[in-house]
Amino acid sequence: MEFIRAHLLISGRVQGVGYRFSTQDMAKLYSLTGWVKNLPDGRVETVLEGDREAVQAMIQWCHKGPPHAQVEEVTVQYEPPQGLKAFEIQRSR
């Protein structure tokens, strides 16, 4: 099992459609840790940590999102894992 971390920026119609809550539900389903939040520019940002296969499956889900989302672009950057312990929804600053 290889432990990885992916940092995603998701753009399109991804705010006000339950994207963060669905992301949290899916991350828990895949046993991933990390966080998700809305950005002021209308994008959603998320960090996923866990088994490589689970993270890759979650990235594929992020390209679709919940039923009312219209995802236009997902950028993925891989980073060193930080050993996060849970998956949470963060508030935008």
Catalytic residues: 20, 38
> Which two structure tokens, joined as six digits, stand for 91?
């508030």
The structure tokens 């849970």 sit at 86
CA distance 8 to 88: 15
The answer to whether the beta carbons of residues 32 and 90 sit under 8 Å apart is: no
